[in-house]
């Protein structure tokens, strides 16, 4: 006997549970496009990137401007209906925490076999369509990066590229001395990692500014 599919009502309720209201614009959107905040010790607003901290969630669109407006205009206190304060550097804190979370995610992916590193292996993953992301060390050599970048552009859609971490940072996260070229293989882990990468893109570009001038 085949299992019953979820009823339309159950599906709509599940979808609604994944949507939250941005306290800045009032717009309802998917959780993946938002940052959750809670009131921490002493009534100070803290980011809850994993969405697991206790307390009422205060949701803000995942971009620097929205978080800065919420902090500056006291929108967290208004939404919480309580005397809570947001640090003036809250948006920068979110950026830092997202970067740490992405590095940690790469470490977990390496241990689960969802990453491949090294020029030849990465090139093969891109060519075969198995690469969900190309992750390049920000201080890697231009020549190798250009060759892999050219391969990503042949894909439809092009393989997205992430280049915010230096070789030493990637090496520490992945258990190697220096890691220059890495591919995040397509799958659920890559999808979860991509959510944080997209959220981070609202706070800073995912590529170094100097790369924009490269062909």
Question: Which of 148-172 are b and which e, b meaning 16 or more Cβ less than 10 Å from the residue's Cβ?
Answer: bbebbeeeeeebbbbbbbbbebbbb
Distances 128 to 83, 131, 213 between C-alpha atoms, Å:
54, 8, 28
Alpha-carbon distance 208 to 198, whole Å?
16
Q: Is the pLDDT of residue 41 over 80?
A: yes
Query: pTM here?
Result: 0.88
**How big is the chain by its Cα radius of gyration, in Å?**
20
Q: Please provide the average confidence, as pLDDT, over all residues in the chain.
A: 91
Residue range 186-203: average pLDDT? Answer: 97
In the prediction, which pLDDT does 18 show? 85
H-state helical runs in 4-141: 8-17, 64-72, 75-80, 90-111, 119-128
Query: pLDDT digits over 128-142, tens only?
Result: 999 999 999 999 999
Higher local confidence (pLDDT), 59 or 12: 59
CB 79 within 8 A of CB 61: no
Distance between first and last Cα of the chain: 57
- Residue 63 — very low, low, confident or very high, per pLDDT cuts 50/70/90? very high
Q: Is the pLDDT of residue 3 over 80?
A: no
In the prediction, which pLDDT does 12 show? 38
Q: For 8-41, what is the HEC assignment?
A: HHHHHHHHHHCEEECCCCCCEEEHHHEEEEEECH
Question: Which value, to the nearest 10 degrees, does the dihedral of the CA atoms of residues 84, 87, 91, 95 take?
Answer: -110
In the prediction, which pLDDT does 17 show? 56
Higher local confidence (pLDDT), 29 or 13: 29
- Residue 55 — very low, low, confident or very high, per pLDDT cuts 50/70/90? very high
Cα 96 to the center of its chain, rounded Å: 11
């Amino acid at each position: 006997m085949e299992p019953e599919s979820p009823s339309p009502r159950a599906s709509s309720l599940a979808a609604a549970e994944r949507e939250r209201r941005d306290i800045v614009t009032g717009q309802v959107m998917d959780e993946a496009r938002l940052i959750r905040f809670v009131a921490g010790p002493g009534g100070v607003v803290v980011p809850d990137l994993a969405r697991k901290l206790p307390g009422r969630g205060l949701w803000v669109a995942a971009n620097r401007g929205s978080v800065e407006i919420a902090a500056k205009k006291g929108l967290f206190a208004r939404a919480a209906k309580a005397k809570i304060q947001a640090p003036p550097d809250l948006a920068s804190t979110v950026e830092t925490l997202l970067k740490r979370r992405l590095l940690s995610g790469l470490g977990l992916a390496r241990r689960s076999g969802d990453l491949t590193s090294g020029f030849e292996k990465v090139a093969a993953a891109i060519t075969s369509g198995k690469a969900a992301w190309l992750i390049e060390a920000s201080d890697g050599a231009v020549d190798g990066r250009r060759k892999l970048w050219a391969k990503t552009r042949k894909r439809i859609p092009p393989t997205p590229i992430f280049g915010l971490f230096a070789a030493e940072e990637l090496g520490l996260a992945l258990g190697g001395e220096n890691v220059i070229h890495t591919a995040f293989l397509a799958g659920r882990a890559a999808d979860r990692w991509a959510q944080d990468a997209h959220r981070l893109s609202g706070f800073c570009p995912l590529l170094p500014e100097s790369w924009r001038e490269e062909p």
